[in-house]
Amino acid sequence: MSTTQAPAPKLTNVGTKPLTVAAGTRGFRTVASSQRSVAFDSTTLPTFTYYNGQTWAYKKVTFTVPAGTQRLLERMAFQATGPSDIVRLTLLDPSGRFVANSRPQGGTATANYANVDVRKPVAGTWTAILYSIAGPGGYHSAPIILRSDAQKAIPVGRVSPAVFTLAPHRSRTVTATTRPPEVCGSVSSARSTSVAGPQSTISCT
């Protein structure tokens, strides 16, 4: 089986004390998912008053996040012409607490896509709120596609050295080796480096 060696980052201790470094690879595997087609008509849905006084139409969609989920990936696709009929997405956890929001941009060249990434989501019934300007100027085109993926972190390769001590103002190179296509491929992945507690991530591109 072939392997791919990812570009090796050089880590430097810029502080005045020795640091213990623990390095590793991380990807995310989907353990539960749901996808639904959501009808949205800005001329008939209930409305609310936006912060700027405009009237917006909204629709609530619920979905379940299982226990043990480490990452929630929520995606939305629609067919707006922009800019007034762009759809926005807000996520509320099971307690009703605001967690995340996506505001697709693009004006008349809207991306027609939203993406929300939640770390360590609470298990239970979540609510996605889809909203657009009310009336004929808002979104009332094709159904909106809403997909929810519950994911867990998995190792995607080997790191050398995995643990080492870095003296003040010293540097060391860390090499990550994975199996294709996991390097920047079908599994979302990154090389993670934990230095004396806090974690930093070096993205694989």
CATH number, residue 167: 2.60.40.10
Q: How confident is the model at residue 175 (pLDDT cuts 50, 70, 90)?
A: confident
Question: Is 161 in the same domain as 136?
Answer: no
Question: Do 111 and 44 reside in the same domain of the chain?
Answer: yes
Show the DSSP H helices in 19-174 as ranges: none
In eight-state DSSP terms, residue 7 is: P
Contact 87, 137 (CB under 8 A): no
Decide if pLDDT at 132 tops 90: yes
Which of these, 159, 203, 195, lies nearest to 18 by C-alpha position? Answer: 195
Q: In the prediction, which pLDDT does 126 show?
A: 98
Nearest one of 1, 33, 7 to 150, comparing CA atoms: 33
In a shared domain, residues 64 and 136: yes
Domain end: 142, 166, 183, which one? 142
130 part of a folded domain: yes
Say what percent of the chain tops pLDDT 70.
Answer: 83
Unique residue bearing structure tokens 């993926």: 149
Tens-place pLDDT, residues 142-158: 999 999 999 999 888 88
Same domain? 137 vs 47: yes
Please tell me whether residues 92 and 176 are part of one structural domain.
no
**Of 90, 107, 142, the domain-final residue:** 142
Please state, in angstroms and rounded to a whole number, the distance separating the CA atoms of residues 19 and 8.
Answer: 19
Rounded to the nearest integer, the mean pLDDT of the chain is 85
Q: Between β-strands 144-154 and 71-77, what pairing exists: parallel, antiparallel or unpaired?
A: antiparallel
Q: What is the pLDDT of residue 199?
A: 46
Range of the domain at 188: 4-28+153-203
Pairwise CA distance, residues 181 & 193, whole Å: 21
Question: Is residue 9 very low, low, confident or very high in pLDDT (cuts 50, 70, 90)?
Answer: confident
Same domain, 67 and 128: yes
Mean pLDDT value of segment 84-91: 94
The CA-CA-CA angle for residues 168, 171, 174, to 5°, reads 135
Banded model confidence at residue 65, pLDDT cuts 50, 70, 90: very high
Structure tokens at 31: 């353990």
The answer to whether position 126 is within a domain reads yes
Provide the number of structural domains found in the chain: 2
pTM, two decimals, is: 0.76
* Cα separation, 21 vs 193, whole angstroms: 7
How far, in Å, are 5, 70, 131, 146, 155 from residue 137 at the CA level? Answer: 51, 39, 13, 22, 47
Q: Are residues 73 and 125 in the same domain?
A: yes
